[in-house]
Structure 1
């Protein structure tokens, strides 16, 4: 594969798994719960990207997890988290809560207050098994994310990644994966250079901020491109799998008239 070789595989929003349970409206990028598609079960260490909307005073009761890195990225509303490690916290827009489940935790997540909570729940497979359970929170303002890719999650062994429960900078994840976020203004384009070793994988997701929509994608419009490869156009809820040579540069441009909230994952 040459340095310019980049392959795009779109993941349209209306082809994601989805369910409306009344209290929960959810989309699944990967196979999850009752949704199974062997074409969409994992990508690198990524295992779950669920875009959830939970009605006020409802949520996920206490349940257990093992051997996954699990984090929540809050888009709107407030999410109450309780777990068996003694953590009790309400997180809101801009907050990221990371749980390294390791040898086992139990937790619950509920919509807090009188408004629906909209958040993305993301899981990755850790590189090492039987880790001790740990918990982290991070906060990122809208102003920080305006027209720049902000590192939200980074590998736990990266330089300058804090392992304090609360700290500045990205949350540590025990997987070869990073996640960036931006609020991209109309007419703006951001470049992201992939790491220079090993064949790279990336996934770009446009957050569905304009409301739950199981039909054709609408809202903000984003163009993802790279030198030597035909780009793809995404709208809210859409994503794209990317396989690229090390050192490739991805360009993410806002081609519409609305601010786009975009997540960019990079992994081995």
Structure 2
């Protein structure tokens, strides 16, 4: 297994007043040939939107777009007629397909902090779809919650609201955990016909927007062989693993670590 850190202080970032954002991959004015995408994973934006502001109505095509709410409330409206206010633990997935228009605004008087993630679909020109799921803190406490999976994976229900992972038209699985101090958690990469799996791990920056240094939560990530790496809030790491190879995440800090783990072809 190979682990390559992606430090928070190296991410693209911007403070627009109403929006404070980090970009793991090339996005908007931040462009990097070294960090443009990884497998089918195209965008990980860590956004904070101030009350009574947000992203006005705009168009998307093709991308699978999902929002993972960390804190606050996010109001979503789209051209399919969906209107929803999402809160902590909610996951919204829009398969843009042949084209949709949507808006996203901070709802209520508290800043909303969320991760917006885009993947590239395996099949182009799909009909647009919309899905929501909810995963409680208890479901994620010191265990992996399976929150996104390919539409044809076992246990995936292709309904607007259901239990289990949200369906995505990409070869991507997403797991999340709230790991307590002193606890460790392992996960084996999925078995597949290919010789290698791609992974990405991200530690949400729950302590606040800080582009100058990574602080707050603190985890150690390691495979069965090789040197472990340590990540602070906002840090991530590229992972190259053999199918079935095990990754272990240990919380070596003093606060709960909110960790997202991608497993991809």
Query: TM-score interval w.r.t. the shorter chain?
Result: over 0.9
SS of equivalent to 1:214: coil
Which residue is equivalent to 2:146? 151
2:102 equivalent among 93, 100, 107: 107
SS of equivalent to 2:69: strand
Hey, what's the Cα distance between the residues in 1 that align with 2:184 and 2:165?
Answer: 23
> How far did residue 19 of structure 1 move?
0.2
1:121 partnered with 2:108: no
Which residue is equivalent to 2:246? 249
Gaps of 5+ in 2: none
1:216 equivalent among 213, 216, 229: 213
Which residue is equivalent to 2:236? 239
Which residue is equivalent to 2:223? 226
> How far did residue 20 of structure 1 move?
0.2
Mapping 1:162-177, distance limit 5 Å:
162-177=157-172
- Residue by residue, what CA displacement relative to the aligned partner does 1:25-62 show, whole Å, maximum 9, x if unpaired? 00000000010000000001000000000000000000
1:203 partnered with 2:194: no
- Residue by residue, what CA displacement relative to the aligned partner does 1:135-182 show, whole Å, maximum 9, x if unpaired? 000001001100001001001110110111000011000000010000
SS of equivalent to 2:97: coil
2:60 equivalent among 58, 65, 75: 65
1:33 equivalent among 14, 28, 48: 28
- TM-score for the superposition, normalised by structure 1: 0.97
Which residue is equivalent to 1:189? 184
Hey, what's the Cα distance between the residues in 2 that align with 1:27 and 1:187?
Answer: 28
Mapping 1:45-56, distance limit 5 Å:
45-56=40-51
Hey, what's the Cα distance between the residues in 1 that align with 2:55 and 2:154?
Answer: 35
Hey, what's the Cα distance between the residues in 1 that align with 2:186 and 2:149?
Answer: 18
> How far did residue 196 of structure 1 move?
2.1
Number of residue pairs matched by the alignment = 263
Hey, what's the Cα distance between the residues in 2 that align with 1:159 and 1:260?
Answer: 28
1:142 partnered with 2:137: yes
> How far did residue 246 of structure 1 move?
1.4
> How far did residue 15 of structure 1 move?
0.3
Hey, what's the Cα distance between the residues in 2 that align with 1:157 and 1:104?
Answer: 22
Which residue is equivalent to 1:3? none
SS of equivalent to 1:41: coil
Aligned-pair Cα RMSD in Å: 0.5
SS of equivalent to 1:104: strand
Tell me which moved more, 194-203 or 28-37: 194-203
